[in-house]
Homo-oligomer: A and B are copies of this chain.
């Protein structure tokens, strides 16, 4: 078994868990090397303390799983099969008695599948969460993961560069967005981390606006929030550029966000609590009088999932460790006035941070 599966099995021994049923595509990929998202169809990876693991996936994906390097049993079910019966049989081959302690992903597994598992394991004493352990495993990135994250960040930088070059009077948000994704696809990008955001004017003043037919005009901020997936690892960058003149008030907001973002970077090194990182930025924004206009956490972990553990927020006592990768993205949103957010992807090193996204952050005014 690979090292990741071994670590999960070792944890299961500590927890006295007979079987882990891992069902989120991200964790299945992390443990098996095989990624698929079969949507409403079942996907699962059953891991044991000592027995060989097995994979459950739609029959038509069996070859893909093997090609991805999965060398253990695969239960490939057709739409007309009942995969739970097949799972029950494969588990019975491995466990002499009914499992009593089952680890599942409580934040992922739905109630229907939970009830199926309860049916398969009628004597189950308890269901415990495997999520905390999976998060702990995924929290610290190894070199192969960092390589993908760096490449994804470099492509995100390139995307902003394209976006900046597209800013022009009268162009719509969607036109700029199309140009960015077109250039990325030409570079071989197959997937964005999430729906690319290009927001201008009023639209940028909502922390979760949606790009549309709004046209860029002089005096507007243009906010880009996007990410690229490389080898299944995500980047996530935000830059806010100005078009034409900016008012003193707009400049004040921009400079406050930038100051906050740099303060959070400065505060981050192994041992710093996530809450301290959040507050380093939040205090700058609050002191400038914009506290109520920064309604979200400072950032989030980044890896296979674009939003993953940990949350960088004022209530998180978790301390930074070497190998963690997360975003730092303070923002100020004043309806009718401006929306500014600046976001980098950062990697905790022995002495501080490696900032993975490198597009400049000083206020850039396109004329």
Contacts and interface: CB of A to CB of B under 8 A. Distances in A.
A296 to B, nearest CB: 6
A115 B80 CA distance: 31
A211 B178 CA distance: 19
A331 to B, nearest CB: 10
A190 B174 contact: yes
A295 B110 contact: no
Contacts of A114: 111, 114
A363 B296 CA distance: 53
B208 A36 contact: yes
A112 B114 CA distance: 11
Given A39-B307, A40-B107, A295-B59, A210 B190 contact: yes
Interface string A164-192: 00000000001101110110011011110
Nearest to A129: B112
Contacts of A335: 63
Nearest to A104: B111
A178 B185 contact: yes
Interface in A185-222: 185-186, 188-191, 195, 206-208, 210-213
Interface in A45-59: 58-59
A238 interface: no
A268 to B, nearest CB: 19
A61 interface: yes
Interface in A219-233: none
Interface string A117-132: 0000000000101000
B295 A60 contact: yes
A188 B174 contact: yes
B110 A107 contact: yes
A145 interface: no
Contacts of A127: 111
A189 B213 CA distance: 10
A110 B106 contact: yes
Contacts of A177: 185
Contact of A175 (B185, B295, B296, B307): B185
A213 B185 contact: no
A264 to B, nearest CB: 16
A314 interface: yes
A109 interface: yes
A337 to B, nearest CB: 15
A210 B212 CA distance: 28
A4 interface: no
Given A79-B296, A307-B39, A313-B79, A178 B182 contact: yes
Contact of A208 (B64, B175, B188, B211): B64
Given A79-B313, A106-B115, A107-B110, 14 more contacts: A40-B307, A60-B333, A78-B296, A79-B296, A107-B111, A111-B111, A174-B188, A174-B190, A175-B185, A177-B185, A178-B185, A181-B185, A190-B211, A191-B195
Nearest to A173: B190
